[in-house]
Structure 1
Amino acid sequence: MFRKSLVVVFVLGSLNSFGQCAMCRAVVEQGGEEVAEGINSGIVYLMAFPYLLISVALFLFYRSWKKSSIR
């Protein structure tokens, strides 16, 4: 039951994201190389930031766990 509801949430949540692809593509086609580089940089930034946050959180958790296990 949980898996089915999780799949429904992800499918319904992704329906809004389909509209952005055509808009980004149109901007890149009209804007030239400089605009394309800017959009690519933005995509990399948006992709890397969650991984950075998770890495910092895991590091802080590990450091806290290590301190508590020494005592």
Structure 2
Amino acid sequence: MKKRFILTALFFLFALGDIMAQCAMCRATVGSNLSEGRNTIGTGLNFGILYLLVIPYLIVGLGVFFYIRAAKQRLKEHAVI
């Protein structure tokens, strides 16, 4: 378990440079489009950021929901017997 955690931490540490590079590219694209008077890419980019923000919370929320539902069903089955 500890080995897996260390490997995961190292992976994210080495991937951090690539992640930060993407932010600079997006910022430059939006800045150049806004200075030219076009706002369509900025709006689409903001929608994409919100989409990427919501998906992990949705996945975790659904996982918790199904876990709680299964736990309640197990409690009902044990109470009947």
* Structure 1 length-normalised TM: 0.81
Mapping for residues 1-71 of structure 1, pairs under 5 Å: 2=2, 5=6, 7-32=9-34, 33-71=39-77
- How many residue pairs are counted as aligned between the two chains? 70
CA–CA separation in structure 2 for the residues paired with 1:15 and 1:61 = 36
Q: Which runs of 5+ in 1 are unaligned?
A: none
Task: List alignment gaps of at least 5 residues for structure 2.
Answer: none
Counterpart code for 1:19: A
Segments ≥4 residues shifted beyond 2 Å: 2-10
Asked which structure has the greater CA Rg, the reply is 2
Taking structure 2 as the reference length, the TM-score comes to: 0.72
